[in-house]
Structure formats: C-alpha cells, structure tokens
Amino acid sequence: MTGFTILKPRKVAAKWIGRRLIGMILVWLAMLAGPSAAHEVRPALLRLSVTGPGTYQATWKQPTVGDMAVRLIPRLSSGSLDRAPDSETAAPGFLIRGWRVARGQPLDGQTISVEGLSQSVTDVIVKVEGGGADFETVLRPASPTAVLKLTGPAGIAIPGYLTLGVEHILTGADHLMFVLGLLLLVGPSWRIVKAVSAFTVAHSLTLALAALGYIHFPSAVIEALVALSIVFVAVELVPAPDRPPSLTRRYPWLIAFTFGLLHGMAFAGALAQIGLPPGAAPAALFLFNVGVEIGQLLFIAVAVAAILGLRALRRRAPFDTTALARLAPAYAIGGCACYWLIERLTVIYA
C-alpha cells in the first residue's frame, strides 16, 4: 500500500522492549537520585574538649538533608550525655548540639557509643582534645562503640582518613555518575586514562587548597555546579551524527580537568566540616585523597567490566539494541543530574 510502512513483528517487538527498558532504567535512576543519594554521605563528628579532670565540653555535629536528620544519639558510659543538650543550633547542612560537663567521670576508659548508628550509613568521627592526651577514632554502622583509651596509643587518627576517602567517593552518587559519563563518552581505551588522570590532578589540587583554607566557595553553589557538570556530560553523550566533533570529544581530558576543579571543592566539603587533625593535616589530607582515588579506580574497574559484559550480550540479543545503548545512558544520567540541579538551586534561592 502506498504511503504506509509495514513493520515486521520483530522490529515492533524490539521497539516495544526498548521503550520498556528505557522506562525501567529511568524510573530506577530517579529513585536513586533522591535526596538521600544525591549527596555523598557525610560523617558526623563528636568532639570532646577536655578542660580539667572530669570537666569537658562535648560537641555533636550531625549532617542533615534539608530539615531532616537521622536519629543518632551520642552516649558515654558515664551517662553524662543522657540529658538534654545545653545548646542546639542548626547550621547549613548540619545540626549542632553541645553539653558542658563539670565534675564528671574522667573520659579515660569510658565507652562511647552512638544510638541508631547501626541502622544508618553514616560514620562518626570521635575526637578527644586537651587534657594532655589527644585521641581520635571512627565509629561505623558495623562497629558503633569504642573505648576511649587516652593514656595509650592515639587510635587510628590518620589512617582513618584513608577509609573515609574510599567511602566518600563510593557513596557519592553524583561524583560517580560524572565519572561514568566520562567513561561512556571516551570508551574503555587509553583515552580514559588521560581523562581520569586529568580529573584526578584537578580535584586533588582544589581538595588540598579548600581543605587547608586557601580557597572557599559556598558549598550549595559548588554542589549545584557539580550537578551542572553532569548535565553537560550527559548532553555530550546524546548521539548527533551531523554535528562536528565537539571540544569535549576531541579533548576529553580538558573537560575532565575543568570540572575536576569543581568536584575537588565538593570533596573538600566533608573535610571542612570535620576538620583535619592538628599537626598532621598534610598526612590526613593525603590519605583522604588516596582513599578517594582507590574508590574511584574500583568504580571504574567495575564499570568497564559491566560495559564489556553488556557489549557481549548485545551481540547475542535477538533484536537491534544500538539505539537503546546510545540513548538510555545519556537520558538516564541527564535526568538524574537535572533533578539534582533543580534540587540544589532551590537550596540556594530558598
């Protein structure tokens, strides 16, 4: 018949299945893009400042998302923190509570715990300062208690930052999505090595400068710009056969370096809120950055294996999946990034 195209049943089925798969992927990623996953998981902080025998100031600093906060309650075995706090304030992204303890039981030998930590995904950095003995450790959901040994070794003050760096990047969905977009744009080849190396150098530079206090930008603005960088990469992923190669496709390392400067300042946000150990800031900063790189390389290795595996499956598929493979990642990554961008802009202009 003239003017009509008769589609073969196989092509119709392929198109229907392709649309269904794209819809499922977008719904799944939209769920992933919720506020709890949009930002990297930031650790909480319990600082105990000793001013005399049995006298100290306890400060609890807990991350929040908007007006919401996970129910986490710090406790000491002496019970000195079991009462209402003497002060409570809300800072951007954090809830801060303080207790003044006078003539209490000495901290040495007490057990510190955080109620509700085992049901969360948050780590807690515990710092004891003053009184001639500094101590630092990290409480985790799997180990929410620790004994304060102030007369012995100072715990894992510096090595703990290595683990925090790994967890920081692996729980930062936005940073990982940028790396994934970069990997999809360049492909699993030697060019991704150059692009990731440029990204590493850039975010290491701004991470160090921001964490040490040499540069400072509002965290809300940085988070919005990070989301915008992911939108940019997603747009580049959309195939355009008639469009000449863009600057991003010709020099992906340059774009990776430019946006890496933004991501480094976002990485520094966690350290800026927690602080670096006195007298050991360079070592802690170095280990945190190494942890970020370890987590990033682990993610890239898994992503490359997944890409190669999906390519093998595509060759065995009963229908043509070329359009799905090209469009689904771009729209999924771009959709999540646009959601984060709008969410973070509302924080800035609220």
Question: pLDDT tens, position by position, for the chain (350 residues)?
Answer: 444 334 444 444 444 444 444 444 444 444 444 443 444 456 888 988 888 777 889 999 988 876 677 789 999 998 889 989 999 888 777 889 999 988 778 888 889 999 988 888 788 888 888 766 677 788 888 888 888 877 654 444 566 778 878 877 887 888 889 999 988 888 877 888 888 888 888 988 998 888 777 888 887 888 889 999 999 999 988 877 777 777 888 888 898 999 999 888 887 766 665 666 666 677 778 888 888 888 888 999 898 888 888 877 777 766 666 667 678 888 899 999 999 899 888 877 76
Q: Specify the pLDDT at position 66.
A: 66
Q: Specify the pLDDT at position 158.
A: 61
Q: Specify the pLDDT at position 74.
A: 93
Structure-block tokens of residue 17: 């299945």
CA distance 59 to 219: 22
Secondary structure (3-state) at 33: coil
Task: Return the closest-CA partner of residue 135 out of 50, 218, 209, 64.
Answer: 50
CA distance 179 to 14: 30
Task: Return the closest-CA partner of residue 77 out of 142, 147, 125, 134.
Answer: 147
39 close to 269: Cβ distance less than 8 angstroms: no
- What number of other Cβ atoms are within 10 A of residue 13's Cβ? 13
The dihedral through the CA atoms of 222, 227, 231, 236 has a sign that is positive
Q: Specify the pLDDT at position 32.
A: 45
Secondary structure (3-state) at 75: strand
96 close to 88: Cβ distance less than 8 angstroms: yes
CA distance 43 to 124: 5
Burial of 19 from C-beta contacts in 10 A (0-12 / 13-18 / 19+): exposed
Q: Specify the pLDDT at position 91.
A: 75
Look up tokens 């390389």; give the residue: 297
Contacts of 72 (CB under 8 A, 6+ apart): 44, 62, 114, 115, 116, 117, 120, 122, 124
Contacts of 4 (CB under 8 A, 6+ apart): none
Give whole-number Cα distances, 294 to 25, 75, 165, 183, 288, in Å. Answer: 28, 33, 8, 17, 10
- The crossing angle, in degrees rounded to 10, of helices 252-274 and 160-170 is 130
Q: Specify the pLDDT at position 326.
A: 75
All domains of the chain in start order, with CATH: 9-38+166-349 (no CATH), 44-156 (2.60.40)
Phi (first) and psi of residue 177, to 5 degrees: -70, -35
Cα 96 vs. chain centroid, distance in angstroms? 21
